[in-house]
Amino acid sequence: MTAATLPRVPGNRDPRVSRGRRVAGSPALRLIVKRVLMAIPIIIGVTILASWVLSLIPGNAAQQLLGPQATPEDIALLEEQLGLNESGVSRYLDWLGGAVTGDLGQSVVSGQEVSDLLAERLPVSGELVGLAFVVSLLVALPVALFAAHRPNGVFDRISMVISTVGLSVANYVLALILVLIFAVQLGWLPAIGYTPLSEGLWANLEGMILPSAAIGIPLFCFYTRFLRGDLVDQMQQEEYVTTARAKGVGSWQVLLRHAFRNSSFGLITVVGLNLGALIGGTVIVESIFALPGIGQMLLQAINTRDFIVVQAVVVVFAVVAVVANLIVDLLYVLLDPRIRYGSR
Amino acid sequence: MAVADTPISVTDHPGLEHGHEEEPRRGKWRQSLGTWIPAGMIALILLACVFGPLVLPEPTGGSVLESNLPALSPGHLLGTDPNGNDILSRLLNGGRASLFIAAAVNVLGLVVGGTLGALSGYVGGAVDTTIMRLLDVLIAFPSLVLTLAVAQALGPSITNTILALAFFSIPAFARVARSAVLRLREMPFMAAAQISGTSTGRILFRHLAPNIAPQLITFGMLGMGIVIIIEGALSFLGLGVPDPAPSWGNMVATGQLSLSATPMLVVWPSLALLITVLSFNLLGENLRSRWSGR
């Protein structure tokens, strides 16, 4: 590409540098590429760790399938058929080779393709976590802003007491309390079970409200506390707040336009770190509410020693955690000009 | 992933940076009250869990003749469960197990994770990268999967629960220690120690350790609450403290089976969990606001 064919670029960029090199040289893109490259060894490390940890578990799927009465010969035969007697390293490499090309293997117990199982289960967990996450964040934002607007006011104190207590409740306890109140006592919502979306939106949501509340309420408490604390810090200590106030900017304006903008970085970080833990939390809530999601599949797979399924779930969890952090980094780039222009 | 590498001043652990403002109007006595009330609660719970089981009936092997007694029955303050076991006794014995596991996990995490993190932050370079990337793998690894797998692999028992949960607390402590050391590294006393030829080990344990200890211990208080909850989750799934020995988690799990008929079986251990975790959280928060010097 010659300089003459290049479109006119605004600003003072050197037109002799090709567009490709200019994009490659952008600090934001470099940062993103660096992060993606860093994520790959982490995910591979997680899968190695997973297959090592799983190899420590006594018993295998052949024994579980045949039951305690099986003769050693039968077990040996089935192990042969299922390919369980190869060495751990070669099985891992086989699996990795397949996984890279999108083939996650077949469940040893049900014979189903693992990718089909994931396609069936992931939407359930995704809906659960997505609902909990979005609703808790949407509620936490105004509550934290109102609380930080008048620190130590009545609203602030009440919301802090609630969120402190809420953070100390285990999600399985919360789940049972919710069931006790809304399903057993009041009978408003079903205690367990899942209805697919194809049978109507309300039927589906009805079964999702309690489980996502069990995940979402502690999350809401966490976000509220965090954001409120950060906002109050900004308002009390930062010089730009003093400047804005001295200029005569209204208190809500300072809070929303100045403090909140800065606090949003901390919040994004926390949200990103949290998202990985969040999907892990589905295991227990799905088992309480009998939701056919990925967490329940994981528990079943561990119990039946269906390690290829466990491996796949671990990868999904790790990818979610890593991608969440990637998105956090991307948001930094979008929000913070200091990173965008690579001043550091 | 290494959020700490981004050029934005966020501390390494999210739990450590919110809500630590201290209002200027608030008197000193109120702050010390905020420390002593939860500390007193914890002391009370500890005493009850250590000495209570000595005077109460055995937590297991009750007679069916005494099953499902209501609260305030003679000899059974909180009544009995369907197996005729004294609920208060199970509660205190369960608490003993939970607190012991939580304390052991946090001590392990503090010592191992703290050392790794401090070493990583102080030495820097390739050591730092190696340690932190390995810990990143542990952090990206879904903690519950790891603990489930370890519990399954080694069989449910108190020792194995501690080992499984330690895997999960070590990276967290390491990150806290590392970010604290990174801040201390630039201090004049560090330069003084290095110039006077102090060995790395001595700098780590004599100069850095006392300075990061308050932060680590504060984090440990918050960690107690987290571990008690996760231990409860493991026991709830039948992979922690093995039945019939009581723990708060497995009491909630067995109580869940008859939730509509005898809700109190779930309520008591849930309350115990809530009060204990809340006390540790309040104490941790309060200590943190003290160390942050406001």
State the average pLDDT over residues B18-32. Answer: 56
Q: Which chain A residues touch B170 with a CB distance below 8 Å?
A: none
* DSSP category for residue B76: B
Kindly state whether A226 is in contact with chain B, defined as any CB-CB distance less than 8 angstroms.
yes
Kindly state whether B18 is in contact with chain A, defined as any CB-CB distance less than 8 angstroms.
yes
Where do the H-state alpha helices sit in B141-294? 143-154, 158-184, 188-195, 200-202, 209-236, 248-256, 264-291
Distance from CA of A3 to the nearest CA of B (A): 35
Determine whether the interchain pair B19/A273 forms a contact, defined as Cβ–Cβ distance below 8 Å: no
What confidence score (pLDDT) does residue A22 get? 54
Determine whether the interchain pair B259/A184 forms a contact, defined as Cβ–Cβ distance below 8 Å: yes
What confidence score (pLDDT) does residue B187 get? 80
d(CA A197, CA B137): 36
Number of A/B CB contacts below 8 angstroms equals: 182
Q: Which chain B residues touch A56 with a CB distance below 8 Å?
A: 149-150, 153-154
Structure tokens at A259: 């403090």
What confidence score (pLDDT) does residue A323 get? 82
Read off the pTM.
0.76
Q: Which residues contact B86 (CB under 8 A, 6 or more apart)?
A: B56, B57, B59, B62, B75, B76, B78, B80
Least confident piece of the model among A98-112, A198-212, B4-18, B81-95:
B4-18
How many CB atoms are located within 10 Å of the residue A73 CB? 8
- In Å, how far are A227, B74, B262 from B42, measured between CA atoms? 28, 28, 28
pLDDT level of residue B14 (50, 70, 90 thresholds): very low
Torsional sign, CA A124, A126, A132, A134: negative
pLDDT level of residue B104 (50, 70, 90 thresholds): very high
Determine whether the interchain pair A269/B136 forms a contact, defined as Cβ–Cβ distance below 8 Å: no
Asked whether B214 and B27 are in contact (CB, 8 A), the reply is no
Enumerate the domain spans of chain A. Answer: 123-292
Kindly state whether B2 is in contact with chain A, defined as any CB-CB distance less than 8 angstroms.
yes
Kindly state whether A330 is in contact with chain B, defined as any CB-CB distance less than 8 angstroms.
no
Judged against a pLDDT cut of 80, whether residue B86 lies above it is answered with: no
Looking at per-residue pLDDT, the higher value among B76 and B111 belongs to B111
pLDDT level of residue B105 (50, 70, 90 thresholds): very high
Closest C-alpha among A47, A141, A132, A146 to residue A98 = A47
Q: Which chain A residues touch B20 with a CB distance below 8 Å?
A: 229, 233
Q: Which chain B residues touch A277 with a CB distance below 8 Å?
A: 143
Distance from CA of B259 to the nearest CA of A (A): 7
What confidence score (pLDDT) does residue A18 get? 56
Kindly state whether B163 is in contact with chain A, defined as any CB-CB distance less than 8 angstroms.
no
A123-292 is classed CATH 3.40.50.2300? no
Nearest to A269 among B3, B277, B281 (CB): B3
Mapped onto helix, strand or coil, the DSSP state of residue A106 is strand
Asked whether B13 and B179 are in contact (CB, 8 A), the reply is yes
* DSSP category for residue B21: -
pLDDT in tens, B262-285: 778 888 888 888 899 999 988 888
Task: Give the ipTM.
Answer: 0.71
Mapped onto helix, strand or coil, the DSSP state of residue B285 is helix
What confidence score (pLDDT) does residue B111 get? 92
Asked whether A220 and A139 are in contact (CB, 8 A), the reply is yes
Q: Which chain B residues touch A234 with a CB distance below 8 Å?
A: none
What confidence score (pLDDT) does residue B63 get? 65
Mapped onto helix, strand or coil, the DSSP state of residue A187 is coil
What confidence score (pLDDT) does residue B1 get? 34
d(CA A216, CA A167): 11
Determine whether the interchain pair A167/B281 forms a contact, defined as Cβ–Cβ distance below 8 Å: yes
What confidence score (pLDDT) does residue A39 get? 80
Taking 50 as the pLDDT cut, the residues of chain A under it are: 1-12, 343-344
d(CA B272, CA B89): 13
